[in-house]
Amino acid sequence: MLYMTEKGVELTLKELSPALIQRVVSEVAIRARADGEPIDVPTFQLKTVAGEIQEFQLTDKNLEPEDPDEALRRQLSWTKYQMALSELEAAQATARTKFMLTWGVDVDLPDDQRWIKMLKSGGIDVPDDEDDQRFLYLLYEVLTPLELQAVIAELNIIAFGKAVDPKEVESFREQLRDQVRRRAGTAISDALRSLLETLEESPGLGGDTAILGVDDGESVATNAD
């Protein structure tokens, strides 16, 4: 499948193994667990009337028993678990994105090496391996944040779409396009608003937004001559 970016760079999207994608994600959890990260639901123990010790999983519903010391222990365990889970989800998303861009997208690297110099000047380590370079080229030079989401979505459709009705796939693509358009509009509005606020607050500019052709909602005067 061909995908043309806003910058006019042609990408070829390829089919990836769903099992391999899932394996990449699972490996992140396996490494985190091996490193001792508290990514599994914490538990606590209670003694039954019969004197037996039973183990229960913590939830947000049982964090405050009557014993204040036990309540503190549970709350600390729950907080550590939630933080570890958030970090795990972020790491899995990063690993998934890197794998899918590296092996699911073909793009010709430019002969001009200035993009590598630019990344290095921004503190990004650029390895010699061509596959790693292709990933960085796509991430920092070719794709906008919205295009990145669209490409990952298309790669998921290519990988998993055979099990889905074609009409549902096309409906998903249309929803994705609508979402991208809305987010693009919001991003542009936010950027313009931020620029206007900067101009208004910056010394020496005196709040003059005329250079942008806007005047905070008032009609812009025009020369009738």
pLDDT in tens, 113-129: 999 999 999 999 999 99
Helix intervals (H) in the chain: 18-34, 68-104, 114-121, 130-136, 145-160, 166-201
The pLDDT value recorded for residue 117 is: 94
* The residue to which tokens 């910056």 are assigned: 202
* pTM reported for the whole predicted model: 0.70
**Domains of the chain by residue range:** 2-40+67-163
Q: Lowest-pLDDT range, 59-63, 87-91, 102-106, 164-168?
A: 164-168
Alpha-carbon span 220 to 175, nearest angstrom = 37
How far from the centroid of its chain's Cα atoms is residue 124's Cα?
18
Mean pLDDT of 91-96: 95
- 19-to-41, 100, 137 alpha-carbon distances in Å: 25, 13, 26
Mean pLDDT of 152-163: 82
Alpha-carbon span 225 to 220, nearest angstrom = 15
Q: Is 139 exposed, middle or buried (0-12, 13-18, 19+ CB in 10 A)?
A: middle
Measured N-to-C along each axis, helices 166-201 and 145-160 cross at an angle, to the nearest 10 degrees, of 170
Summarised one tens digit per residue, pLDDT across range 10-62 is 999 999 999 999 999 999 999 999 999 999 999 998 887 788 899 999 998 88
* The residue to which tokens 């970090």 are assigned: 87
User: Nearest Cα to 59, choosing from 48, 44, 46?
Assistant: 44
Of all helices (H) and strands (E), which one includes residue 45?
Answer: strand 43-47
Of all helices (H) and strands (E), which one includes residue 57?
Answer: strand 53-57
Does pLDDT of 156 surpass 80? yes
Mean pLDDT of 158-169: 72
In contact, 5 and 107? CB cutoff 8 Å: no
Mean pLDDT of 186-204: 71
Mean pLDDT of 121-149: 92
| % pLDDT > 90, the chain | 53
Q: Identify the band that residue 153 occupies on the pLDDT scale cut at 50, 70 and 90.
A: confident
> Higher model confidence: residue 214 or residue 93?
93
> Higher model confidence: residue 219 or residue 115?
115
Mean pLDDT, the chain, integer: 84
Task: Give the tokens for residue 113.
Answer: 């090496």
How far from the centroid of its chain's Cα atoms is residue 36's Cα?
25
